[in-house]
Amino acid sequence: MRTLWLLHEMGLDFDLRIYPFGKALRAPEYLAIHPLGRVPCLEEDGLVLFETGAITEYLVEKYPEKGLGRLPGAAERAHWLQWLHYAETVAVHGATLTQQHIVIYEDRDRSPFVMKLERRRLEKALEVLDTHLADGREYLLESGFSAIDTNVGYSVYVARHFTPLQVFPHLAAYYNRLSARPAFAKSLPETPALFRQPFYDLRDDLAS
Ligand SMILES: N[C@@H](CCC(=O)N[C@@H](CS)C(=O)NCC(=O)O)C(=O)O
């Protein structure tokens, strides 16, 4: 979703191929593109690239006129890189919580301890963003919207399924700004593919 969002923000022409989670991602044809069978993947002019962060850097450098990167030499370059990679720090907690609450099918295989720990670690990671945004800035960099906002924004999109954003007022306002962008709306799945409910609370009902 975050790469799709970025492509829409950039206004590029592209063909989207959707691979549902499951066997399609482990088919030999797909493993020839991404050896781990994950999404996303970008193919352009014979180049095959995986890892969202790398795809982000590649796209903003290939299309500098879109203005969504902060290229080497730019004043905010170092912080642009910092938040690009921080997006993955947040995303990993979201991915673990997605696995615990949604992907794992049987209650006996879920861990209330992991759910609690990961929710706490996610909240600490969100707190850092909330504090950063507390000075009233609209987006992560003072110079305005860039590709790091699609990466971090996606991580917040996932995170809010597992922790209420209201306790982070600056982050909640930032997420509202991001989700009002037309390119964000275009990147959402037409039918809920993964998140079938808006919020997944802690599961204290599970045996420890
Ligand atoms: N760090 C990688 C993460 C890739 C990843 O784990 N993608 C997930 C979806 S967000 C996936 O393909 N999961 C399918 C699976 O593990 O079978 C990236 O940003 O591209």
- Answer yes or no: is the C-beta of 141 below 6 A from any ligand 1 atom: no
Give the CATH number for residue 61.
Answer: 3.40.30.10
CA of 137 to the centre of ligand 1 (A): 30
Q: In DSSP terms, which residues pair with 47 in a beta bridge?
A: 44
Task: Flag whether the pTM goes above 0.95.
Answer: yes
Give the CATH number for residue 123.
Answer: 1.20.1050.10
Please tell me whether residues 98 and 171 are part of one structural domain.
yes
Please tell me whether residues 166 and 103 are part of one structural domain.
yes
Condensed to tens digits (0 to 9), the pLDDT of residues 34-65 reads 999 999 999 999 999 999 999 999 999 999 99
CA of 36 to the centre of ligand 1 (A): 9
Tokens representing residue 187 in the block: 């990147």
In-domain check, residue 128: yes
For the purposes of burial, counting CB atoms within 10 Å of the CB of 6, is it exposed (0-12), middle (13-18) or buried (19 or more)?
buried
Q: Ligand 1 pocket test: which of 3, 36, 39, 50 has the largest number of ligand atoms within 8 Å of its C-beta?
A: 39
The C-alpha atoms of residue 38 and residue 87 are separated, in whole angstroms, by 18
Banded pLDDT at 208 (limits 50, 70, 90): low
Neighbours of 44 (CB within 10 A): 13
Residue ranges making up the domain that contains 21 = 2-66
Condensed to tens digits (0 to 9), the pLDDT of residues 96-127 reads 999 999 999 999 999 999 999 999 999 999 99
The C-alpha atoms of residue 125 and residue 163 are separated, in whole angstroms, by 12
Condensed to tens digits (0 to 9), the pLDDT of residues 127-184 reads 999 999 999 999 999 999 999 999 999 999 999 999 999 999 999 999 999 999 999 9
Please report the sign of the dihedral spanned by the C-alpha atoms of residue 64, residue 3, residue 96, residue 201: positive
